[in-house]
Copies of this chain bind each other. A is one copy, B any other.
Amino acid sequence: MDLIVYLAGEIHTSWREELKRKAVERELPLSFVGPQENHDLSDDIGENILGTQPNNVIKDDAASSVNNLRTQVLMQKSDVVIALFGEKYKQWNTAMDASAAITLNKPLILIRPDSLVHPLKELSNRANITVETVDQALEVLAYIYE
């Protein structure tokens, strides 16, 4: 049974590549989708398509329109959602995607470091399971096929 996994979360480390590589090594029939990982492109995509905007607030809103359409299309196609929180940044998109997954009844695996237990406690409580590493998340996915 092929499954599609949406990988929400920070785009500053290569955790998605690591997860994909290990899934291939284990021959799991998973395909992965996720947000735009090129940060500059993600910020500029609104102006790239619509042209220069009058100020940064409008520029950000234009970029968000395109990013949100992308997320909506791909998350609706997915069977499972993984949301990874790192120690830096606000990561409100990650929280937004995780909460949307919960509300849409998409099974959710949350990955977060030990240091974020307290501020993420309500979101963690609503996730199907919370783990600390990418390897653990992959174990959860692999268990579906065992």
Contacts and interface: CB of A to CB of B under 8 A. Distances in A.
Interface of A: 1, 3-4, 31, 33, 36, 38, 41, 45, 48-50, 54-58, 60-74, 76-77, 79-80, 89-93, 95-100, 102-105, 107, 109, 116-126, 128-129, 131, 136, 139-140, 143-144, 146
6 contacts: A1-B33, A63-B121, A65-B125, A69-B140, A92-B123, A96-B98
Contacts of A68: 122, 125-126, 128
Contacts of A139: 48-49
B96 A136 contact: no
A28 to B, nearest CB: 13
Nearest to A55: B54
A89 B144 CA distance: 24
The residue in A55, A91, A129, A144 that gathers the most chain B C-beta atoms within 10 A of its C-beta is: A129
A98 B99 CA distance: 9
Tell me the dominant secondary structure on chain A's binding face. Answer: helix
A49 B125 CA distance: 17
Contacts of A54: 54-55, 58
A116 B93 CA distance: 13
